[in-house]
Structure 1
């Protein structure tokens, strides 16, 4: 039985290579806090996360470097599986 492919060496290598580029968030354009690592990175909204330009649920490849993008954890989460990087708007005025 196969495990989670995101726990494998190829995915970790892709994440490390993308992190080493030190690029800004491809969604919002602001700097990413690359110094946040370890367990706290999973909770910090400005930490690095690997995003996929074409979401996996829409046929994107998990391990294709051409599909890999650097993003803030919050931006990646907010984008979800949409194909656009436009920030979603509130459903009503507050």
Structure 2
């Protein structure tokens, strides 16, 4: 395969499929403004739950998640940190 696989038709189809769902950012939970320019920090990007460099599949829908560009960049190639569950009140 020549070139960057993220420029291919199957990858663009995956991005379009995920964008059409208008889901919130899976990392921070806030809504994504899908009309923003791709260079904006709060714009939509496709993130892989299991990073490609750690064995995740590039074109697997089960591995694709919507994220803000800023959240995706901050996560890098690490698995997302799990946030501890907080009690609804102090005990």
Q: TM-score range by the shorter chain?
A: 0.7 to 0.9
**2:49 is equivalent to residue 53 of structure 1:** yes
Specify the SS of the correspondent of 2:58: coil
**2:65 is equivalent to residue 69 of structure 1:** yes
Equivalence map 1:9-88=2 (5 Å): 9-36=9-36, 40-41=37-38, 43-86=39-82
> Deviating runs (4+, > 4 A) in structure 1?
none
Greater helix share, 1 or 2? 1
Deviation at 1:85, TM superposition (A): 4.0
Deviation at 1:3, TM superposition (A): 1.0
Name the Cα RMSD after superposition. Answer: 1.4
Q: Give 5+ residue unaligned stretches, structure 1.
A: 88-94
Alignment partners' CA distance in 1, 2:64 and 2:80: 15
Size of the alignment, in residue pairs? Answer: 83
Q: Give 5+ residue unaligned stretches, structure 2.
A: 84-91
Q: Which has the larger radius of gyration?
A: 2
